[in-house]
Chains A and B, each alone.
Chain A
């Protein structure tokens, strides 16, 4: 009897141990990053209670030319420095709480452009003024080296928004204090906005957060020297905190420990039955100048701008196709993108009824090409030996980059900077991917 009681007690404590472990585990988890469906897709930070704890930290990022640049950034408080801040994903109409902790040597804050009724530590978020009327911050800030502040708001209309520093804005945003906020339509998480014609494939959702870096300014901040933001000159241009070719690398690439997000679109051709929905690309500009982002090969349909669905007062569809998306400072554009095999060319049953253009017309620049060596999706042909190619299985690569070409360089070295590729696989995919 004693042994049985003892055994049952042990079992009960074992069960309690497991339950306690799971409970503690869930407490430990809190807000968590949801893995992206593709290796470079949108990785959301979500929380059941929409409570996000972010910490402003300093750290370093790598550029493809071997430079290492001092930056500031928002990262999950449970994590470490990263650039850009995590993508916070919430649903329209829900209550959101963002707790900012500050480890930087000066006060900092977060503003949420596009959100209304924001409070800071329970009071209306509003500009901070000195006794003489000089503004010190667009909103209440967290004190240097250990301060914190809690912002709360109700998520507004569906779309994509920046969150960024509201303190010494030109300097702190240049230093990297920015991230993206995605607001999803209530009940329709696979739509860009409240309109049903903004439906997208949730497995192919991407954020392209565009920004720039003046390394001299960053060095000055690192050394504690006075900096002149008004006369800065950007040398690096980034998508999601990376420059080409690092934009092609997967999320959480081991050689980019502080730059966790890739920036490559990877889709298959539209098919009414098997692949009916387009990809969604959420563009944001955290920089100081326009970034004329230009995907080769396909138009994109802009459906939302700054969190407003492009629709007339009577519900008319005002979305538009664009071949060069001018993303202005502080702006966001949500664009649907698909690729349609309109002609259905096939080398056996429906050959291209003309001589293929000379190879130089298929080239990127000089003797380089992403061309598959065949005009047919999923087929590879032969190229002259002096031609080099980037192709795995006959897939298409469409280069996408800022068409302000100095922004497509790494400190002036072509190709680099704000550049990536949109990869289109054959309907059956590539054998190895």
Chain B
């Protein structure tokens, strides 16, 4: 009659046990990392923003970041001043702010507000616009095209 008993593991299980213990440690570390690591919205911070010599020559600025903020309701567009004189004119052109358009969907925004116009802009310094994000026109993780005065900068990642 067969009898079911629990016995000590045979010696040929020990290497596997050691392997399993090692795996357990690795799994625990991975689990700990996954649960503890900051979950940063917007994907990689290192996603490169493309550059356009034409656009930079026209505006005097280099766009450096597009990010969805305000719990989804706002978008910030940051730019670095390359040529203070051109940048001042660019910033003062309040009736024609750069347009941000989603490349994945019909949607975009052109309603920019603060930063306040009239700054004495300094080359190398970063300034920003805040846009409304009506109806979630721009989404984190996608790419947008920035358009200004007939020029465009495509494939700008949205953080």
Q: Judge whether B50 is part of the interface by a CB distance below 8 angstroms.
A: no
Known contacts A39-B71, A423-B73, A431-B136: A388-B44 contact under CB 8 Å: no
Q: Judge whether A390 is part of the interface by a CB distance below 8 angstroms.
A: yes
Q: Please give me the residue from chain B that is nearest to A5 by CB atom.
A: B7
Give A100 Cβ to nearest chain B Cβ, in Å: 20
CA distance A206 to B133 in the complex (A): 24
**Interface mask (B16-46 → A, CB under 8 Å = 1, otherwise 0):** 1100110111011101100110111111110
CA distance A423 to B136 in the complex (A): 15
- Residues from 382 to 397 in A contacting B, C-beta threshold 8 Å: 385-386, 388-393, 395, 397
Cβ B20 vs Cβ A17 within 8 A: yes
Q: Please give me the residue from chain A that is nearest to B139 by CB atom.
A: A432
Contact-residue size bin, chain A (C-beta under 8 Å from the other chain): 35 or more
Residue of A28, A245, A250 touching B32 (CB-CB under 8 A): A28
Q: Judge whether A404 is part of the interface by a CB distance below 8 angstroms.
A: no
Q: Judge whether B78 is part of the interface by a CB distance below 8 angstroms.
A: yes
Cβ A392 vs Cβ B111 within 8 A: no
Residue of A5, A252, A253 touching B6 (CB-CB under 8 A): A5
CA distance A20 to B20 in the complex (A): 10
Q: Please give me the residue from chain A that is nearest to B80 by CB atom.
A: A66
Residue of A21, A390, A395 touching B28 (CB-CB under 8 A): A21
Cβ B114 vs Cβ A415 within 8 A: yes
Give A117 Cβ to nearest chain B Cβ, in Å: 31
CA distance A359 to B28 in the complex (A): 59
Q: Judge whether B9 is part of the interface by a CB distance below 8 angstroms.
A: yes
Contact residues in A for B127 (Cβ distance below 8 Å): 65, 413
- Residues from 267 to 325 in A contacting B, C-beta threshold 8 Å: none
7 example contacts (A-B, Cβ-Cβ < 8 A) are as follows A21-B24, A245-B76, A248-B74, A388-B112, A397-B70, A415-B114, A415-B116
On A, residues with C-beta under 8 Å from B are 1, 4-6, 8-10, 12-13, 17, 20-21, 24-25, 27-29, 32-33, 35, 38-40, 64-66, 78-79, 245, 248-250, 252-255, 257, 260, 264, 266, 364-370, 380, 385-386, 388-393, 395, 397, 413-415, 421, 423, 430-433
